Amino acid sequence: MNRHTLTRRGMITFALLLCCALGIVFARAATTHASTMPALPTKHHIVFQVSANNPAIMNLALNNIVNIDNYYTKLGQTVQIELVAYGPGLNMLLADTSPVKARIAQIKTSIPDVTFSACNVTLQTMEKQQGKKLAILPEARIVPAGVARLMTLEEEGWSYVKP
């Protein structure tokens, strides 16, 4: 071996050691940066709007509820879910007209924290038009105004979906 070869090997060794050292420094910096970054929320909030008397749309909203709950459950996170029905969509939550009442009962059993909200403005209007008291499903509750409920939840940072 000549003197030139040793110097070249020494330089290569030095370069490799320098790369390793820099890699360790950058790895530590990335770990420190990641630990100071805010964690993604582990509690999510989503509200679904149903305002059409259409069983396909109602079932799509219910499918979305089940899918979003399954998704976050698998991640070990929680999701607060609410469905707000108003206008013609209120038929979804009426005891005598709901085409999806069996699914709502099943979903409420498997996802107890899901909330089904019925618009009282629409309910009162329908009662006047039909001349009789209307009952909502036992899984649902009445809110003063459906659109106002949606607006309040959005202002509180809830994600909004209209299937």
pLDDT at 25 (0 to 100): 47
In this predicted structure, what is the pLDDT of residue 38? 54
Asked if residues 97 and 122 have their Cβ atoms less than 8 Å apart, the reply is no
Q: How far apart are CA 69 and CA 44, in angstroms?
A: 10
CATH superfamily of 43-161: DsrEFH-like (3.40.1260.10)
pLDDT score, position 28? 58
Buried b (16+ CB within 10 A) or exposed e, 65-98: bbebbeebeeeeeebebbbbbbbebbbbbbeeeb
The tens-digit pLDDT sequence of the chain (163 residues) is 555 555 666 556 555 554 544 455 445 555 544 445 455 557 899 999 999 999 999 999 999 999 999 999 999 999 999 999 999 999 999 999 999 999 999 999 999 999 999 999 999 999 999 999 999 999 999 999 999 999 999 999 999 999 9
- pLDDT given at position 43: 87
Helix 55-74 / helix 101-110 crossing angle, nearest 10 deg:
10
